[in-house]
Structure 1
Amino acid sequence: MTAVDDRPQARNQALEPEAFEHLASFAARETEGLRFELIGGKLGVKAVPDGLHSEIILWLQRVCMQYRPDLGLYADSGLAVETYRAGRARPDGTLAPIGHFVGAGEWGDPDGVLMTVEVTSFDRDTTQRDRVEKPRAYAESAIPVYLLIDRDTREVTVHSEPGGGVYQKRVIVPFGKTVSLPEPVSIELDTEQLLTWVQGEGA
């Protein structure tokens, strides 16, 4: 008779949203600077933003305010994402109508969100989460636009036209070029400032 070891299956079980929320709430009280996410049933920890990361989000907030004063680019607001809202993400930026998160609690509804934004950090999870898992999660949630500002490759990637759990269209431009953020965002984004910053840090 062969013994069956079920421990690997137990380790690979997806974390339920309710259990994650309890863990994230505890971590927020007991630790400083850690931001947890639940994508694809897996627990992830977002890196604490460095100075340039924060500056990029501030710059993008000002651009969005200039072109779309009816919208707000909210930093680090939680979203219930993925199919059946089983994931919990904390985008670096979430573009939504002003007032969207009033009364939402910690994990807001993605319905009505126009765009999510991620700025890569220099950690080992960036490739998988920001370039693979996040686009899928945001597309499953029918968020019209996902903007990835990739400091590693010095490129901006605009994902749009979500359908079937993926973004059907992807436009990539190098820092320094202008890229269109399609409807319903409708902003022409000049990324010259991003090029200036990354050249200045000697990356």
Structure 2
Amino acid sequence: MAKVLEGPTTEKPTMLESYERACDLFPDYRVEVVNGRIVVNDVPTGLHNDIVSNLLLQIVAVVAANGWKLWTNIKIFLGPQADRYIPDLTVVPRDPRMRGPDEVQGDVTELVVEVVSPSSVNDDHVVKPREYAKATVSLYLLIDPEQGIAVLFSSPAGGSYQQRVQVALGAPLDLPEPWKLTIDTGLLVDLDDPKTDSPG
């Protein structure tokens, strides 16, 4: 379950100071700043990891052919005063532009992927598309096993994504140029599991 931390009321540290403190306090957890809140996420579940693993199997050939890299546990730099996210999977070019050793610039990413957890529904569906678009993250893929859907956000412009394609898990999902790849979303999850049935 995600934890939301609040800074001490007397010292009033900056958000960045509170965030860095949380990172130090919880080194084995995913610490993010989401919509101005510091959120400490638990270690992903087996289902969560299975979805990421199954996606990797489908995209690795295209990633290799383009000379890109597959990164996990990397922070996305969205701007000096903006949120800090750690996607479940990030695809970056061979020599991505960095903001320090553990933050990659959002606008150079080829793809960011979030697998929705019960505690992150609003953040993943509402907050992160808005902030990723502002930072011109080119493609944001959201996979929600509870709702049985995958959503691809693309074409960021004017602070929002101009394209949003949603499919039920089990349906194909096309990634645009330069990917030229169709994801079989049925292979991401066990469709016999009642939690991943396509919505009715």
TM-score by length of 1: 0.80
| Shift, 1:164, TM fit | 1.9
- Asked if 1:190 is matched to 2:187, the reply is no
Question: Structure 1 60/20 Cα, relative in aligned 2: closer, same or farther at 3 Å?
Answer: farther
> 2 CA distance for matches of 1:129 and 1:102?
24
Post-superposition CA distance 1:96-124 (Å, at most 9, x none) = 1234378941222223101110001123x
Residue matched to 1:202: 194
| Shift, 1:183, TM fit | 2.3
Among 168, 171, 187, the residue aligned to 1:174: 168
Residue matched to 1:50: 45
Contact 1:61 1:72 in 2 (8 A): no
Gaps of 5+ in 1: 1-9
- Pairs within 5 Å for 1:74-93: 74-81=71-78, 83-84=79-80, 86-93=82-89
Larger Rg: 1
Among 99, 103, 108, the residue aligned to 1:107: 103
| Count of residues paired in the alignment | 184
> 2 CA distance for matches of 1:134 and 1:111?
14
Q: Percent identity?
A: 29
Q: Which amino acid aligns with 2:39?
A: G
Question: Structure 1 140/20 Cα, relative in aligned 2: closer, same or farther at 3 Å?
Answer: farther
- Asked if 1:64 is matched to 2:59, the reply is yes
What root-mean-square deviation, in Å, do the aligned CA atoms of Structure 1 and Structure 2 show? 2.5
Q: Which amino acid aligns with 2:144?
A: D
Post-superposition CA distance 1:78-137 (Å, at most 9, x none) = 1112x54522110111111234378941222223101110001123xx221100111011
| Shift, 1:19, TM fit | 1.2
Q: Which amino acid aligns with 2:73?
A: D
Gaps of 5+ in 2: 1-7, 196-200
Q: Which amino acid aligns with 1:105?
A: P
Q: Which has the higher contact order (CA 8 A, sep 6+)?
A: 2
> 2 CA distance for matches of 1:116 and 1:178?
18
